[in-house]
Structure 1
């Protein structure tokens, strides 16, 4: 069903037909279908969705849509939605809503749920505790497989995952057991005989990005979250870990493009907000780029003596910047995947040195023949000689080596001192390399051409 058809059916009050279609759609597709509908039509269509499917659809909606629905719904309707939502989704909702809507949501939550949510909200924003849910299945070691399956049937409908169950004793996590283990074992077998005691768990204050990377490393679908006494307080599920990785990737891309990260969707971000996110970096890079101007000014006499040198400045600066960006992006990616650490610093330097030498020599040779065959022999460019070609090509080779050295080392050093390596990406690297390439160029020119 398209949004146009949905609006047409709503106008004709074909509610039975709408309900039949909406209640077989995936909640993710439902949220996309209802996106950007006018508030009255949105509320009307949403009320035609079954309660459980409606709650899941609600969790996938944009904050603006959620706020519009909450402002329209009665307290009874809000209670129904909140009752079907998982704790972590409710926490996300509270974090996105304005104060007046938050108060209304809290008023419609029962005391126990409010207590759990308040606990989660107290954890640091970037911690595992802030993204965990408390809806998990806990078992006792003295239970039989039959007892465990009966409990899962009784409480599983309200849990975010039932595939992995957590065995606890006096609140402490002592083992895990999977649904596969339970379904393939004798009904009278004890959980203590089945459970895996080598437990992969995370602490409440562990960085959520590191937790998300553990899902990729170990291939799990959920991780238990424990306190300092190894008591289980919740679990982090795969969908929350995937969202963390998506957010981190978006943030890194923004930083690599010299833009302040913004969680708001692009089309819903105001012009002034985009301006505010971009202008600080542009101002910083503009000011830092004035160094390039000072360098050119200080070598005015050299340029006046050989005007042909000027034509190669853009090529040298661009090639240096591109070389540095290649190295920095490769290293930043390896750092984010955990493929390299600070202890690999010299190994990375050695590898990039060999790569830069090969790249620099190849570019220098290719550029020399281009200048000789095209610029000198074919075009007869005034003032251009083989000596100038040698200066340009030697500068090109040295610039590439320096650029790749800077590009590979700065991200590693940034991470070591606690900065985000993504900051040391294209714009920042390019600005540094531009200045260095000019210094190298004019010094070679002065030494080799005697100007």
Structure 2
């Protein structure tokens, strides 16, 4: 609705003005056409006392939708400001999976109050979902879905959907179960609407379907939803009994969390669950320092190598000036390979069984890149460093050492970068851990070893 940042700023000013002048009727009329996510954004921009006023002006259904879009800190403030009747109204309007998400993020005192004012059925559903492991499909599913029997007619099914549908997460797909609640088929609303009223559900339902289990990894389930373009996936237990569904909005949240976590790990930061500006300095320090400490200590190997070859450096001091270039190029080469492999692993495009194929591809790429970089660097060293800058210590032999090292460094870096994530995945670690900082530290040490070995052979140091 609002296309520019200026329009949003004007909206915030308008809302603040109406709140200050207590023009609540006008404020309500201004808010009603907005989407729930936009109202939640407004609440985040307003004074901390304003959100509860805005919340009380909205219809119950819209208020519940806005509540779900708020971050956990604002939700906690609102819950603490709600009367018991207001809290119950909100809980009655929430879908079960949203209620579970809120309970998981609230302090114990707030959770106790929520469970006290939730109806028995909601409380039971919350407890059932909370028993599943955090990263499992069961932890993100909802038990609010439409189930049908195969002996029903289309007319019976439509009556059931009209009666129970308003309280369900989605009615686009209905699930057909037997007397023991085992999943035997599914049916889209399109199929129901186009069928004859006296058609039997068992005759028109889809018997070939994809289902996930409660203990499956939630990221795998989210990627399945993305792969097949489903709006929802049925969740069954080990005996194929239907216990819930996972909807596409929950899958998007999971994928966003996983991508954020991978990016943080690739940058050597312990994953966090709060927005950047709402994460305190102490929390940020705790997330970054352990990795920095580990990488700093591991980088001491570079210093040990330099110390070991100190005599060689003194005999040919010009070699020192090319160390940063070799280390930087090696780190960049390794990062390119690791990023491509980590992305492919997360999308399911490669597996550990593809290791040899991945290594063979990266080896050829590395040779092409290395030779190209070495040729350009050889010309640069002789043309610019030796001729234009008149540096007589940059001899053709020194240029040969640097360029040969460059080729070997790029090859080693890309092989390390592509193989470590695959090995980490095979061993049960997150491949994102084997990313830029970790690989750069390894490649720095390798590049120095290669550099001085080549210098020793060519220059006789």
TM-score of the superposed pair, with normalisation by structure 2? 0.97
Q: Which of 218, 223, 239 pairs up with 2:249?
A: 239
Indicate conservation of the 8 Å contact 2:148/2:175, yes or no.
yes
Matches of 1:186 and 1:269, distance apart in 2: 57
Matches of 1:209 and 1:322, distance apart in 2: 29
Residue-by-residue CA offset, 1:369-426 (whole Å, 9 max, x unaligned): 1111111121111422100000000000011001100000000000000000000000
Indicate conservation of the 8 Å contact 1:63/1:93, yes or no.
yes
Aligned to 1:56: 65
Displaced runs of 4 or more, over 2 A: 36-40
Aligned to 2:140: 131
Matches of 2:373 and 2:276, distance apart in 1: 39
Residue-by-residue CA offset, 1:132-175 (whole Å, 9 max, x unaligned): 01110111111111111111111111111100100111211110
Asked if 1:329 is matched to 2:351, the reply is no
Q: Which of 360, 363, 374 pairs up with 2:384?
A: 374
The secondary structure found in structure 1 opposite 2:233 is: strand
Matches of 1:250 and 1:59, distance apart in 2: 20
Matches of 1:229 and 1:450, distance apart in 2: 72
Asked if 1:169 is matched to 2:213, the reply is no
Deviation, structure 1 residue 40? 2.7
Aligned to 1:252: 262
The secondary structure found in structure 1 opposite 2:186 is: strand
Aligned to 2:409: 399
Residue-by-residue CA offset, 1:262-308 (whole Å, 9 max, x unaligned): 01111111111111100100010000001000101100111111111
1:41-52 correspondence runs (5 A) = 41-52=50-61
Indicate conservation of the 8 Å contact 2:12/2:45, yes or no.
no
Q: Which of 285, 303, 309 pairs up with 1:293?
A: 303
Matches of 2:136 and 2:259, distance apart in 1: 17
Matches of 2:301 and 2:38, distance apart in 1: 52
The secondary structure found in structure 1 opposite 2:163 is: helix
Matches of 1:11 and 1:284, distance apart in 2: 53
> Over aligned residue pairs, what C-alpha RMSD do you find?
0.9
The secondary structure found in structure 1 opposite 2:348 is: coil
Q: Which of 10, 20, 35 pairs up with 2:19?
A: 10
TM-score of the superposed pair, with normalisation by structure 1? 0.99
Indicate conservation of the 8 Å contact 1:39/1:69, yes or no.
no
Matches of 1:160 and 1:36, distance apart in 2: 29
Indicate conservation of the 8 Å contact 2:382/2:394, yes or no.
no
Indicate conservation of the 8 Å contact 1:209/1:248, yes or no.
yes
Matches of 2:309 and 2:201, distance apart in 1: 80
Deviation, structure 1 residue 62? 0.9
Matches of 1:98 and 1:80, distance apart in 2: 21
Aligned to 1:271: 281
**Unpaired stretches in structure 1, ≥5 consecutive residues:** none
Matches of 1:37 and 1:379, distance apart in 2: 61
Matches of 1:230 and 1:22, distance apart in 2: 45
Residue-by-residue CA offset, 1:71-124 (whole Å, 9 max, x unaligned): 111111111100010000000010111111111100101112111110100000
Deviation, structure 1 residue 36? 4.1
Aligned to 1:387: 397
The secondary structure found in structure 2 opposite 1:280 is: helix
The secondary structure found in structure 2 opposite 1:346 is: helix
Matches of 1:289 and 1:140, distance apart in 2: 65
- Name the count of aligned residue pairs: 451
**Unpaired stretches in structure 2, ≥5 consecutive residues:** 1-9
Matches of 2:121 and 2:248, distance apart in 1: 25
Q: Which of 328, 347, 352 pairs up with 2:357?
A: 347
Indicate conservation of the 8 Å contact 1:3/1:34, yes or no.
no
Deviation, structure 1 residue 37? 2.7
Matches of 2:91 and 2:331, distance apart in 1: 52
Aligned to 1:115: 124
Matches of 2:160 and 2:48, distance apart in 1: 41
Deviation, structure 1 residue 25? 1.3
Asked if 1:152 is matched to 2:161, the reply is yes
